[in-house]
Structure 1
Amino acid sequence: MSEKVVVLDRDGVINQDSDEYIKSLDEWVPYPQSIESIARLHQAGWQVAVATNQSGIARGFYTKATLENIHRELHRRVNIAGGELAHIAYCPHGPDDFCHCRKPQPGLLEQIQDVLHLTDFEGCWMVGDSLRDLETGAAMGCHLALVRTGKGLKTEAQGEGLEGTLIFDDLASFVDWLLLEQQNELNCR
Structure 2
Amino acid sequence: MRRLTAAAGIAVALLALTACRSNPSVAAYVGDQSFSEAKVDELVKQAAEAQQTAQPGDEAAVRTHVVQLLVYNALCKRIAAEKGVKLPAAQAGPSEYATISQETQACVQALPLDQMKPSEEDLRKVYDNGVEVGVLDPKQSFEQVKPQLEGDPQVAGAIAVYRVLTDAAKSADVTVNPRYRPLDLPVLTAGERGAVLSAPFGQYESGVSNS
Q: Determine if the TM-score, normalized by the shorter chain, exceeds 0.5.
A: no
Higher Cα radius of gyration: 2
Question: How does the TM-score come out when normalised to structure 2?
Answer: 0.26
Higher helix share: 2
Question: How does the TM-score come out when normalised to structure 1?
Answer: 0.28
Structure with greater contact order relative to length (CA < 8 Å, sep ≥ 6): 1
